[in-house]
Amino acid sequence: MHHELSIAERVKIFIEQNFKPEEFGNIEKIVIGIGKLVVADKNQIEEAFNVIKKESDFPDLEIKFITDELLFECKDCGKKFSSQGYEIHCPYCGGDLRVLSCDEVYIKEVVFK
Ligand SMILES: [Zn+2]
């Protein structure tokens, strides 16, 4: 839960740092990208954020989550590709893969009314 709470806190800080108080009412929702390998419960982040926003200047703001595809890079041929699944071998040459980006939580999009 601690991890989820800190993510929710970061969303609040992002809003406060990037928008003026008079703009808060124009924001409909914040879309949050979550890497597929992030170990965090989206429902718990949302619950934490719902508690935080009640005390903030944007009590009606919604957050939405999009789980990113995994991005792989082949160790042998260097090709990059994304996939929803957990690939083991490169589809081009059969080589070993490493996962490039998958453990991040970031602000993907701000949707205005
Ligand atoms: Zn390859």
pLDDT tens per residue, range 20-49:
999 999 999 999 998 887 888 899 999 999
CA 104 – ligand 1 centroid, Å: 25
Identify whether 24 is part of a domain: yes
Identify whether 18 is part of a domain: yes
CA 100 – ligand 1 centroid, Å: 14
CB 66 within 8 A of CB 31: yes
CA 81 – ligand 1 centroid, Å: 10
Low-confidence ranges of the chain (pLDDT < 70): 1, 102
What are the residues whose beta carbons fall under 8 Å from the beta carbon of 27, sequence distance 6 or more?
A: 15, 19, 58, 61, 110, 111, 112, 113
**Structure confidence at residue 62 (pLDDT):** 94
Prediction pTM value:
0.75
For residue 38, the domain's CATH number is 3.30.2320.80
**Structure confidence at residue 73 (pLDDT):** 94
Number of domains in the chain: 1
Identify whether 63 is part of a domain: yes
Identify whether 89 is part of a domain: no
CA 46 – ligand 1 centroid, Å: 39
Task: Give the range of the structural domain holding residue 41, as residue numbers without chain letter.
Answer: 2-68+101-112
Identify whether 75 is part of a domain: no
